[in-house]
Amino acid sequence: MAETYVMRPSRLDDLQSLIELAELSGPGFTSLPVDVPILRERLQKSDDAFLGRLQRIEYGKYLLMMENAETGEVVGCSAVKAGTGIDQPFFNYRVITLAQASQAAGNLRFDMDALVLTNEYVGFTEVGTLFLKPEHRGGGAGRLAAQSRYLLMAAEPERFGTKVLAELRGVVDNEGRSPFWECLGRHFFRMDFTEADRLSATTDNQFILDLMPKYPIYVDLLPPEAREVIGRCHSDGVGAYKLLQWEGFEFDRTVDIFDGGPLVTVQRRHIRTIQESRRVRFEAGDVDSDPAAKLGLASSDMMPEFRVSLAKSILKDPQTAVVNPDTLALLKLKPGSEGRIWQRSK
């Protein structure tokens, strides 16, 4: 049951579980490369971030693991990167519209889209790395993985940027072939999509600056199969895209330079989960049979022992919420502790 899932900070001993998730995620999932040293480093950086061992908070890379509290199995993950473009460039293509007009040609006028290489999201907080094992999707688990990232920001907002972005995986087939890459990127990089994807995940991205075209690329000059996938996300990411739109994220006319996947942004203060959540004092009680109980999420709302679970709750007053004792156990809290709840609107 999804009710037994809990999101918690990753630990150094999660390496084997993270490797399994990376292998299941498939081609094009850049933030989960099947590379043991990188994944081990990812866990170390997350540990440092949660424990506050960073020289600058913008370097924080927080990895959350979804655990089945009954079995201890890690079944998914999601992450928050406090600041993009700070430790290495974050390149994208911005889709711009160029107006073409000529009086000499009989007042002919039309617009053309072009792709321009940019590095304009410096300091944005990025949410990503949302992946669940297929057999654990549904029943609220996806929402738990997604919304836990925003509750993390609400717990200590000073650790995160005022603007938030998410980059969705573009169209890539089961063999790791990207139509956008084959028609555009391959001509400049002279390598397979998977190799470019690996370099993006394992280097400082200087190779992108060295090899990418420095001038606008007219979209109409690309083959139809490339034009059709610009701004489209992978079929496995449609659910995540809908959740992002529900939170208030909007397509920013910016796409990934490798697979053409969409990039969406929002002001942190406008994120729905953050706006609708509130800090409360928890009381324990039987809420399952109470018609006033609402489904939602509950979090411990603190670092480094940040935890989130699905929960039913009743607002006793604006500062007090009643939840099941099992919910408090999942959050490792006692009655009287403070935390945060988000209740789903009916």
Contact 155, 138 (CB under 8 A): no
- 173 or 285, greater pLDDT: 285
Read off φ and ψ for residue 187, nearest 5 degrees: -65, -25
Structural domains of the chain, with CATH? 87-121+162-270 (no CATH), 278-343 (2.40.40.20)
pLDDT in tens, 311-345: 999 999 999 999 999 999 999 999 999 999 999 98
Contact 108, 43 (CB under 8 A): no
pLDDT in tens, 1-41: 445 899 999 999 999 999 999 999 877 677 888 889 999 99
Can you give the pTM of this predicted structure? Answer: 0.91
Three-state SS at 154: helix
> What is the band of 346 on the pLDDT scale with cuts at 50, 70, 90?
low
- Which segment of 4-18, 132-146, 293-307 scores lowest on mean pLDDT? 132-146
Radius of gyration of the chain (CA): 22
Q: Cβ-count burial of 186 within 10 angstroms (0-12 exposed, 13-18 middle, 19+ buried)?
A: middle
List Cβ neighbours of 293 (8 Å cut-off, separation of 6 or more): 287, 312, 313, 314
The bridge status of strand 163-167 relative to strand 125-132 is parallel
Average pLDDT over residues 277-288: 95
CA angle 264, 270, 272 (to 5 degrees): 90
pLDDT in tens, 188-234: 888 888 788 777 777 777 888 788 888 899 999 999 999 999 999 99
List Cβ neighbours of 345 (8 Å cut-off, separation of 6 or more): 276
Per-residue model confidence (pLDDT) at position 2: 44
Per-residue model confidence (pLDDT) at position 1: 40
Average pLDDT over residues 244-252: 95
- Active site residue ranges: 234
